[in-house]
Structure 1
Amino acid sequence: MTDTAKKTPANTSAAPGPLADPLDLLDLSSLLGEEERAIQRTVRELLADRVRPHIGSWFERGHFPRDLVPELGRLGLLGMHLEGYGCAGTSATAYGLACLELEAADSGLRSFVSVQGSLSMYSIRRYGSAEQRQQWLPRLAAGEAIGCFGLTEPDFGSDPANMRTRAVQQGGAGGDWILNGAKMWITNGGIADVATVWAGTEDGIRGFLVPRGTPGFSTRDIENKQSLRASVTSELVFEEVRLPDAARLPEARGLGAPLSCLNEARFGILFGAVGAARDCLQTALEYAGQRVQFGRPISAFQLTQRKLAGMAVSLNTAMLLALHLGRLKDAGRIRPEQVSAGKLNNVRQAIEIARECRTILGANGVSLDYSPIRHANNLESVLTYEGTEEIHTLVVGQALTGQSAYR
């Protein structure tokens, strides 16, 4: 063997220097365009100034910063992936990156933006009339109004086809509708100016817009939550609520309509979970470099490095998956089971990272002075809403086998 053949990168190259960004182990930022980086940077800077100094207190007090909503609107974050009516019309990937930054601050903020844009506004944009779009979308995009999305019921979460909320039309075509029923675990419900509500009718499931103040429509905020505390979660109650036919979403027919809205929200979640995981890992990495035991920082110990390395690999692979799905969505080629696979994987990885980071912080890990315990608590809700882990497993399973296992 010649001397040249013996040479390998391992014995000819100097040891690499430290990573420019330790959290970007695979240099995934190089896959982003300049506009995408600018959007991500702008959202991160707003949150650093307006949210991060207060989020621990907000979570502890169960406070949602409603005064922040117009700022989110001015920044173009509300319905940012939609077009027209004051919406920014960005790419799906850019929207995902904004969700990532929002959830890196707190899942409650990302949940607000997801519900406002991907559920409330998307349902109106996709299934509403021209009049409904003009009435609500500009105000919702500006943060002058807040929307919510009523699908889940007290007894029917994963099985919305059997919802009990009913709407009965009086006097034939064009007549008023009488709405009765209840919805549960509704983000933004107690502060929403308009609710997109799904109800069973003689012609199947239909959607309706119910403004706050409509007689018979009331809300009750859910208290004593240990998750998503910086977010409003409510029950919606409808007792003989009379709605004109103009309140019906004319293009929404069947269960596929609300499920398509949920798929939009799930897309934002699979990016958001990466943000929560990143914030936890950043906190743990900084803490491990400063916490000294046995005369050296704990980041110098093998067991700590094993934890950090494993989490960095999981974080970066989750981010790579999110970016790939973002590109598929921008190309118009994404499939529901791919979104399910993304949410299933990324939320699972994020919650494991949050829990592992808490162990690196030791006793300090249970304090709201550090983010991992807050993210871990929030991710327990993210694991459940917009489709439980079990439901997304069955979505992927059906795509693989062609067999439905829901019953």
Structure 2
Amino acid sequence: MNLFKSFSQLRNLLKSIDIEAVSKLSQKVDLNQLMGVVSKMSEEDLGKMLKFMQAGSGKKKAPPVVNGDFYELASTLSPEEREIQLKVRDFMETEIRPIANYYWNNAQFPMHIIALMARLNICGLTYQGYGCAGRSALLEGFIAMEMARVDSSISTFFGVHSGLAMGSIYLCGSEEQKQQWLPVMQRMELIGAFGLTEPEVGSGAAGGLTTTCKKEGDEWVINGQKKWIGNATFSDITIIWARDLGDNQVKGFIVKKENPGFKAEKMEDKMALRTVQNALITLTDCRVPETDRLQNANSFKDTANVLRMTRAGVAWQAVGCGRGAYELALKYTMQRKQFGRPIAGFQLVQDLLVTMLGDLTAMQTMVYRLSQLQDAGDLADEHASLAKVFCTLRMRSIVDHARELFGGNGILLEYDIARFVADAEAIYSYEGTKEINSLIVGRAITGESAFV
């Protein structure tokens, strides 16, 4: 160190010191004597003193911004897409985060948010026409992530309405049906639900539904039950899938809530996605006109087309849930102090945080590519299934580590992370279990079907 440079640094440092503080110091210390001592110090001792003074006089360094998008994938969106993404984020932060725990804890749905969400104009985002924006699947994925980052229940509500219900009509409906239903659903003036899963038929839906339909004249008579049907306690229409007794093929129907023979009962005592209103639906000689049969749904392959599209969305939801948990944990470790310092400064804590971030970043890059395949028209069942398997597994790991970092506070709802841990279990299971999705991928890579 050059001695002249050291004195110059010292002079600049002293200039930066508040005059009032110098005045107070002079009352305690003979400053002339102090400078005499300083002038006789060695370069090494002077350097140590400068380092000490600079550390003490400088402003405290601001902590890094909490951001789970470590590879900055959002920066690849167009300015217009980025604006939509941030608009959804603002909605989730201002309208949903403050009320999320209350409605989750009380197993209620905040009906007032539907009108607020409608203003975002994001329903049926990837569909062409019918009031829909015709945007990319990539942007749709980012929106699913933004919602699940704050509340997976709201993301699920939206995915059922915009993805499963609207998607069934968009992919399987006639032009007349699309014109009748999609514009009002896009504006969220009518809310939709999707009825495929049954009390005794979940992953095995492709092998045969127990809910049946039979044509009588210009009507269809539907009998059976559906279970775990999100939104169905208050939805205006529910897409019901049933096995035709005539040809043994799966058909789809638009069933109105006021339709005689249609009954939806709220499922109680869930430990996950408690804000989502799941229903047990009973159809007893429920008569539906031919005009409300999805005209282009003639087998389970047509149903699978809807599921393929929405399964990609569930993978994005898993990313959102994992990201929300990671960001909560990172912020908490920066604020929580033990042994006189933030726990973020401890090695074992940083190791867990980096493990979580690695999983999250891998998930993000996978679903990013998945949406690129969807936008290119190259999305296959096995692509969506692999993303569902991997992302939900890694999501589970992330929320587990996050809860660990919260310590005992991790089981208190007020810290949010307990809700993420519980909701992750539902995301892990719906839209096909790990085992079923693994068999779909396994069939694709081996050429052999291991389904029983």
| Alignment TM-score, normalising by the size of structure 1 | 0.92
Answer yes or no: is the 8 Å Cα contact 2:66–2:327 preserved in 1: no
Higher mean C-alpha displacement, 341-350 vs 22-31: 22-31
* CA–CA distance in structure 2, aligned partners of residues 295 and 243 of structure 1: 68
Secondary structure of the 1:53 match is: helix
* CA–CA distance in structure 2, aligned partners of residues 43 and 63 of structure 1: 22
Aligned to 2:355: 310
Structure 2 counterpart of 1:208, from 237, 253, 261: 253
Aligned to 1:12: none
1:181 aligns with 2:227: no
* CA–CA distance in structure 2, aligned partners of residues 321 and 54 of structure 1: 31
Answer yes or no: is the 8 Å Cα contact 2:209–2:242 preserved in 1: yes
Aligned to 1:198: 241
Aligned to 1:118: 163
RMSD of aligned C-alpha atoms? 1.5
Structure 2 counterpart of 1:167, from 213, 234, 255: 213
Give the number of equivalent residue pairs. Answer: 388
Answer yes or no: is the 8 Å Cα contact 1:87–1:141 preserved in 2: yes
* CA–CA distance in structure 2, aligned partners of residues 124 and 364 of structure 1: 45
1:223 aligns with 2:264: no
* CA–CA distance in structure 2, aligned partners of residues 82 and 19 of structure 1: 39
Aligned to 1:355: 400
* CA–CA distance in structure 2, aligned partners of residues 381 and 237 of structure 1: 23
Aligned to 1:98: 143
Answer yes or no: is the 8 Å Cα contact 2:66–2:330 preserved in 1: no
Write the mapping of 1:281-296 to structure 2, written as runs, cut at 5 A.
281-296=326-341
Answer yes or no: is the 8 Å Cα contact 1:165–1:180 preserved in 2: yes
Answer yes or no: is the 8 Å Cα contact 1:355–1:372 preserved in 2: no
Aligned to 2:312: 267
Structure 2 counterpart of 1:251, from 296, 301, 314: 296
How far residue 70 of structure 1 moved from its aligned partner, in angstroms, is: 2.3
How far residue 131 of structure 1 moved from its aligned partner, in angstroms, is: 2.4
Q: Percent identity?
A: 36
Higher mean C-alpha displacement, 68-77 vs 134-143: 68-77
In structure 1, give the amino acid aligned to 2:187. A
How far residue 89 of structure 1 moved from its aligned partner, in angstroms, is: 1.6
Answer yes or no: is the 8 Å Cα contact 1:104–1:276 preserved in 2: yes
Flag the 1:387–1:241 CA change in 2: closer, same or farther, 3 A: same
Answer yes or no: is the 8 Å Cα contact 2:319–2:360 preserved in 1: yes
Aligned to 1:4: none
How far residue 25 of structure 1 moved from its aligned partner, in angstroms, is: 2.4
Secondary structure of the 2:274 match is: coil
Aligned to 1:9: none
In structure 2, give the amino acid aligned to 1:159. G
Deviations 1:330-362 (A, max 9, x none): 111121101111111111111110111001010
How far residue 265 of structure 1 moved from its aligned partner, in angstroms, is: 1.3
* CA–CA distance in structure 2, aligned partners of residues 66 and 27 of structure 1: 34
How far residue 20 of structure 1 moved from its aligned partner, in angstroms, is: 6.0
Aligned to 2:9: none
1:365 aligns with 2:410: yes
More RCO (CA 8 Å, sep 6+): 1
Flag the 1:304–1:316 CA change in 2: closer, same or farther, 3 A: same
Structure 2 counterpart of 1:301, from 346, 363, 380: 346
Answer yes or no: is the 8 Å Cα contact 2:237–2:257 preserved in 1: yes
Secondary structure of the 1:80 match is: coil
Flag the 1:183–1:386 CA change in 2: closer, same or farther, 3 A: same
Unmatched runs of 5 consecutive residues or more in structure 2: 1-61
Aligned to 2:174: 129
Answer yes or no: is the 8 Å Cα contact 1:218–1:236 preserved in 2: yes
Aligned to 2:53: none
Write the mapping of 1:135-154 to structure 2, written as runs, cut at 5 A.
135-154=180-199
* CA–CA distance in structure 2, aligned partners of residues 221 and 143 of structure 1: 22
* CA–CA distance in structure 2, aligned partners of residues 334 and 248 of structure 1: 27
Answer yes or no: is the 8 Å Cα contact 1:72–1:78 preserved in 2: no
* CA–CA distance in structure 1, aligned partners of residues 414 and 449 of structure 2: 46
Write the mapping of 1:20-99 to structure 2, written as runs, cut at 5 A.
22-99=67-144
**Which is greater in Rg?**
2
* CA–CA distance in structure 1, aligned partners of residues 334 and 65 of structure 2: 16
Secondary structure of the 1:369 match is: helix
Aligned to 1:8: none
Secondary structure of the 1:218 match is: strand
In structure 1, give the amino acid aligned to 2:172. Y
Answer yes or no: is the 8 Å Cα contact 2:66–2:331 preserved in 1: no
Deviations 1:83-110 (A, max 9, x none): 2111122110011111001111111111
Flag the 1:385–1:123 CA change in 2: closer, same or farther, 3 A: same
* CA–CA distance in structure 1, aligned partners of residues 425 and 225 of structure 2: 24
Structure 1 counterpart of 2:447, from 377, 402, 407: 402
Flag the 1:168–1:285 CA change in 2: closer, same or farther, 3 A: same
How far residue 21 of structure 1 moved from its aligned partner, in angstroms, is: 5.6
Secondary structure of the 1:198 match is: strand
Answer yes or no: is the 8 Å Cα contact 1:77–1:113 preserved in 2: no
In structure 2, give the amino acid aligned to 1:75. L
* CA–CA distance in structure 2, aligned partners of residues 20 and 354 of structure 1: 20
* CA–CA distance in structure 2, aligned partners of residues 248 and 293 of structure 1: 62
1:107 aligns with 2:173: no
In structure 1, give the amino acid aligned to 2:381. P
Flag the 1:370–1:20 CA change in 2: closer, same or farther, 3 A: closer
Answer yes or no: is the 8 Å Cα contact 1:25–1:313 preserved in 2: no
In structure 2, give the amino acid aligned to 1:218. K
